[in-house]
């Protein structure tokens, strides 16, 4: 078809659309002329006015219910915070671009609601008309202990979560339709889950940032139960994980408020409590000013998120091997880099060490414990590379797992890794080979415990020799190099 022919066809289609379009009558607000404004003198006029006014309001409300005129107009941080004025234009563009990949999911078991959260599209298959959604594994977690306001389970010690992989999962799409989510895989340690969804139209896939650093300007995106977008401005914070938290998390820091400012149709500001518009932001995205995803949000037990470079390695492993393995070292750590400078400076004065991970806990009966690694020792290098944060260590663990699978090996095998440890009490530095498990389960670091018997509890008997060596609170005898070889 020639250009002229194509233009003629478009004109014909436009004319056909115009001929089939019936313009609606304009909104016409009734009023009573001043000379007829006396209800007693002109009751029929006032009765007709009330009837006409009711019809006008009904027609007006019908128009206001359109998507172009929100039924409950509200303002986000991007329109009501003057301190964001300098970045408002670029932030608006980034948010609207990234929001296309953010959806909502809900789950139930035997007809009873289980959880709801957000998620991100990560893959689209045009041939099969299916997409894959990445979300938090809390969507199918039955005890959901992370979500308690009063007690927070320590998954390092308990590992007691139960996951309903046969739960009924509904994916709420952007066009206000829903689809069934089919379970593919979940990874407890990184709190990730994957679901396949039948969708006829292509979906928008997010782009992931390769760089995430403390202090970065970011926005958290989520959707409430009405699929309305929720936007929160904040900053990336890098700090040592709490005692209950996994090592791979970074944190979302922001100004907290109990109310959202809103405007009515007359532009008058009022406030609504957040609880009136429920929104579980878990599984939502953290984005930068370029609209790239820097992390997947998981607010419990604190406002933490899985950074994009960890997500990228997890997605790479799952897409190729359909699993996300991790090395279980049998230890928990805190970073020297993220300590208060007063404390960090003391460590340098005492040991001349500026970078490394301090051992916070060693799992009972682990190979690390058998090799003599103790609370307070410092891990300086992993497989020959220096380590400054726990997130860096997680990247190294995932990379080593990738190498393991690339070589044709499998899950649930034992491999050796090399670590350099500085024993702080003895001031001894050693390079040791640590035997660790390759697993996609959540790692549990067990406390070493021992029972107190009735005999030990009696004052006359004194301290029993049994279990004394196992008591972690008693001073340890001076160790020698030879003791590590036995």
Strand-pairing partners, residue 178, are 172
Could you tell me the pLDDT band of residue 27, with boundaries at 50, 70 and 90?
confident
What are 371-424's pLDDT values in tens digits?
999 999 999 999 999 999 999 999 999 999 999 999 999 999 999 999 999 999
- For the chain, residues classed under CATH 2.40.10.120 are 72-314
Taking a C-beta distance cutoff of 8 angstroms, is the pair 178, 116 a contact?
no
With 0.85 as the threshold, say if the pTM is over it: no
DSSP3 helix / strand / coil % (the chain, rounded to 5): 30, 30, 45
**60 or 270, higher pLDDT:** 60
The CATH number that domain 72-314 falls under is 2.40.10.120
What's the rounded Cα separation, in Å, for the pair 378 and 421? 6
Parallel/antiparallel/unpaired status of strands 304-307 and 293-298:
antiparallel
Q: Identify the H or E element spanning 368.
A: helix 367-370
The residue count of the chain comes to 486
What are 71-112's pLDDT values in tens digits?
554 678 887 788 888 888 999 999 999 999 999 999 999 999
- For the chain, residues classed under CATH 2.30.42.10 are 326-450+478-485
Q: The CATH number of 326-450+478-485 is which of 1.10.3210.10, 3.30.565.10, 3.40.50.2300, 2.30.42.10?
A: 2.30.42.10
What are 153-185's pLDDT values in tens digits?
566 666 557 899 999 999 999 999 999 999 999
Per-residue DSSP letter, 445: -
What are 107-126's pLDDT values in tens digits?
999 999 999 999 999 999 99
What are 205-219's pLDDT values in tens digits?
999 999 899 999 999
The pLDDT value recorded for residue 280 is 85
Low-confidence winner among 71-85, 295-309, 335-349, 361-375 (lowest mean pLDDT): 71-85
């Amino acid at each position: 078809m020639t250009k002229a022919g194509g233009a003629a066809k478009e004109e014909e289609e436009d004319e056909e659309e115009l001929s089939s379009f019936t313009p609606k009558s304009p909104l016409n607000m009734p009023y009573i002329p001043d000379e007829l404004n006396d209800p007693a003198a002109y009751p029929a006029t006032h009765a007709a006015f009330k009837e006409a006014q009711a019809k006008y309001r009904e027609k007006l409300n019908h128009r206001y219910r359109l998507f172009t005129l929100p039924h409950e107009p509200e303002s986000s941080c991007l329109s009501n915070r003057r301190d964001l004025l300098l970045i408002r234009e670029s932030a608006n563009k980034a948010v609207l671009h990234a929001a296309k990949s953010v959806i909502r999911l809900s789950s139930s078991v035997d007809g009873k609601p289980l959880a709801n959260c957000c998620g991100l599209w990560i893959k689209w298959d045009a041939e099969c008309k299916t997409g894959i959604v990445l979300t938090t594994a809390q969507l199918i977690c039955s005890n959901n202990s992370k979500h308690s306001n009063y007690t927070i389970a320590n998954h390092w010690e308990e590992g007691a979560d139960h996951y309903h992989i046969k739960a009924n999962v509904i994916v709420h799409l952007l066009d206000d339709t829903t689809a069934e989510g089919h379970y593919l895989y979940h990874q407890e340690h990184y709190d990730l889950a994957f679901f396949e969804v039948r969708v006829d139209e292509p979906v928008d896939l997010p782009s992931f940032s390769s760089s995430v650093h403390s202090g970065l300007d970011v926005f958290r995106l989520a959707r409430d139960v009405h699929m309305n977008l929720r936007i929160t401005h904040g900053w990336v914070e890098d700090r040592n994980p709490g005692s209950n938290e996994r090592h791979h998390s970074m944190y979302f820091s922001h100004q907290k408020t109990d109310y959202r400012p809103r405007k009515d149709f007359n532009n008058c500001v009022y406030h609504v409590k957040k609880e009136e518009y429920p929104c579980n932001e878990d599984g939502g995205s953290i984005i930068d000013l370029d609209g790239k995803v820097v992390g997947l949000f998981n607010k419990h037990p604190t406002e933490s998120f899985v950074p994009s470079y960890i997500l990228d390695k997890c997605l790479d492993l799952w897409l190729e091997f359909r699993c996300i393995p991790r090395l279980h070292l049998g230890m928990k750590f805190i970073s020297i880099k993220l300590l208060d400078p007063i404390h960090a400076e003391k460590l340098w004065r005492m040991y001349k060490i500026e970078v490394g991970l301090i051992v916070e806990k060693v799992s009972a009966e682990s190979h690390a414990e058998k090799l003599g690694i103790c609370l307070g020792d410092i891990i300086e290098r992993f497989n020959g590379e220096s380590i400054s944060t726990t997130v860096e260590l997680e990247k190294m663990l995932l990379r080593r797992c990738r190498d393991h699978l690339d070589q044709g090996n499998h899950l649930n095998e034992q491999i050796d890794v090399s670590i350099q440890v500085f024993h702080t009490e003895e001031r001894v530095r050693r390079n040791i080979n640590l035997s660790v498990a390759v697993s996609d389960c959540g790692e549990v670091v067990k406390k070493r415990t021992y029972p107190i018997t009735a005999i030990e509890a009696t004052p006359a008997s004194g301290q029993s020799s049994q279990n004394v060596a196992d008591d972690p609170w008693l001073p340890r005898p001076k160790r020698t190099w030879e003791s590590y070889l036995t």
